[in-house]
C-alpha cells in the first residue's frame, strides 16, 4: 500500500464551479500535512498547510480528518489559473526531513 494515495483525476471543472478531492495516508502517527501545487513541467510549490481544525486561504479550504486518515482540498469559484496538479504531502515527524508525496490530482478548469 502506498504511504499517500490520491485520485489522479483529471477533475474537469467548469470555471466558477467548486471542486473537492481527498488524499489518504497510511501512517497514523504522521504529524503535519500540506497541499502543494505543481504546474505542468514546473516544480511543486507550497499551496497551504492543513490543520486539524481546518483552514481556509481565499478560495481554498483544507481539512484534516485524523480518525479516517485523510486530508481534503476544496476549491471554490474555480479560475482557469487553478488548472494544475495538486500534491498531497505528509510530513511524518514534523522535522522537514523526508516527506511523503502523493502522485497528485490533476484539475482542469474549463471556460
Partner 1 sequence: DVKVTQSSRYLVKRTGEKVFLECVQDMDHENMFWYRQDPGLGLRLIYFSYDVKMKEKGDIPEGYSVSREKKERFSLILESASTNQTSMYLCASSSQLEGYTFGSGTRLTVV
Q: Which residues are at the interface with partner 1 (CB under 8 A)?
A: 4, 8, 41-46, 87, 95-99, 101-104
Phi, psi dihedrals of residue 88, rounded to the nearest 5°: -90, 130
**CB closer to partner 1, 78 vs 86:** 86
Q: How far apart are CA 53 and CA 62, in angstroms?
A: 9
**CB closer to partner 1, 17 vs 46:** 46
CB of 74 to partner 1, least distance (A): 22
Place of cell 485524523: 66
CB of 58 to partner 1, least distance (A): 20
Q: How far apart are CA 38 and CA 25, in angstroms?
A: 20
Amino acid at each position: 500500500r502506498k504511504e499517500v494515495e490520491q485520485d489522479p483525476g483529471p477533475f474537469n471543472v467548469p470555471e466558477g464551479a467548486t471542486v473537492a478531492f481527498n488524499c489518504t495516508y497510511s501512517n497514523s502517527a504522521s504529524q503535519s500535512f500540506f497541499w502543494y501545487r505543481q504546474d505542468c513541467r514546473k516544480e511543486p510549490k507550497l499551496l497551504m498547510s492543513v490543520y486539524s481544525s481546518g483552514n481556509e486561504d481565499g478560495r481554498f479550504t483544507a481539512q484534516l480528518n485524523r480518525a479516517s486518515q485523510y486530508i481534503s482540498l476544496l476549491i471554490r469559484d474555480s479560475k482557469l489559473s487553478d488548472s494544475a496538479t495538486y500534491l498531497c504531502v505528509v510530513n511524518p515527524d514534523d522535522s522537514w526531513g523526508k516527506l511523503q508525496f502523493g502522485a497528485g490530482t490533476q484539475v482542469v478548469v474549463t471556460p
